[in-house]
Structure 1
Amino acid sequence: SKAVARWCQGDINLIVNCEKEGFAHSFHLMHGAGVCALGLKVDNAAATFERATQLLDTPFRQAVGPGELDIPSVRGVGGSLVYFLDDTSELGRVWDIEFDDTGESRANAAGLTRVDHISQSMHYEEMLTWLLFYTSLLDLRKVAPQDVVDPGGLVTSQVIEAPDGGLRLVLNASQSTRTQSSRFLSELFGSGVQHIALATDDLFATLARFKQAGVRLLDIPENYYDDLEAKMDLPAERLEALRAANVLYDRDGDAEYLQVYTETFEQRFFFEIVERRAYRGYGAANASVRLAAQARGEALR
């Protein structure tokens, strides 16, 4: 038995590794608490691994213990790992093989369904390398990059996504040393995952569960909702519901996007919870509001 736990809900699998040896422990010693690995489901894990090693020549291998699978992996952003899984080999049974079901009740599920997107922060000069790696290895398309206003400067945000939305990555970089993206790099001692967005079909129902569980959310300033009222012409009761729950809102035609953020862990990593209503974007109009709110929260702590 290892000090490794799987937390799952819907199609989401989060692994918390508290082992005192191995890669995850070494990563923690160097970077602190953070995301040391990503697992990607592909059509053929072995073929994808072979292609990845041709692109980067950074395969990763470690000892495989009893009851464990030899999961193909390479070193990715910031020295973290990228594991490749598929449904055509025994890798498709990884959760059954490597983890025991505790039998704990699912009654406290919060309605989370899947990973919506993963945001990685990196040095500006690294962005092209990782953009080429992901788009050469996987069936991902580029979305037009955007510059997001941070209280400390501009952050360039590049989205790459699968045609069906099954995998979405957001690469962030800044040439200013004072942005949140750059501070993340200095505090983590390198590039890495800054936040993970989880999807729900009913954000307000999910937030009700969060409140019961004591999850602390990012406080959004009142003036955001005053501006939202002027721009979106939302019904008063709906606007008040957004305000009371610290929900950010965006709209594109009839498509809508609702999003909230947790407070940051160790002032660097956080979760985003989103509800998409036929919306394809990432709430870019709200990014500067979120960054300012996080900067204010960090200053108060």
Structure 2
Amino acid sequence: MRVLSIQSCVSYGHVGNSAAVFPMQRLGHEVMPVHTVVFSNHTGYGAWGGQLISGDVVRDIVAGIDARGGLADVDLVLSGYQGGNDIGDAILDAVALVKSRNPEAIYACDPVLGSAASGCFVAPEVQTLIRDRVVPQADLITPNQFELGFITGTDPHTIDETLAAVDVVRASGPSTVLVTSVFRPDAPADTIEMLAATADGAWVVQTPRLPFKRNGSGDVAAALFSSHFRGSGDAADALARTAGSVFGLLRNTHDADASELLLVESQDEYVAPTTTFAVTQVR
């Protein structure tokens, strides 16, 4: 599989392309990263070096790939955080170009907007961009539960409410939805769930919730699920494999008390997760 991944890049730590590219490569996929920022580290540290990449530069890079014939067999376009209309437009242009070269390609968007703990942390311009222009163009989206609610104007908590919000967003464009970080009031303590839905049904997987957070785990989950699903078309299998891999990555990071994801050290988890979790069909 050939993947065009248009995301941020950091030298220290693992977020954006610095989180998504290696796990897909470890699975045997050919990944072409296009960076939207080049920073020393993620901005959660409060200080960083580097610079933003303009939409025109992104277009130039994608055009250069196309000139080599590199877009003809792209199966998956993946995007993450989008800082504004400039980058958003460049990503949508890249998606349109890829699909003109290969109509079977799909666009997977991680609509990064915020979280239940922090609320919406992107500018109003980005909120409008993601909700009104990007999500409707995507074939697959990977929001967390908060982002799903923001996009659909709902406030999902239960599984039924989450499924109803998924139906709303699927009616707007994307046929496949992975909801990460699902919390529901009747779930066992210290657990977390993910939910995947397509036209064929919906499935939930539950894993232990480790008592910490590290940036980049959502980027890894989006990359793994998107590539697994594009390869097999089986959402339940993609969900199970993603849950096992991400849990293994987080467990290793937690056990080592590492400040950043142990992305490289956990590489075997992407191919053969050491822990598997049951997937339950809920529709």
Alignment TM-score, normalising by the size of structure 2: 0.34
| Structure with more of its chain in helix, by fraction | 2
| Structure with more of its chain in strand, by fraction | 1
Structure number, greater radius of gyration:
1
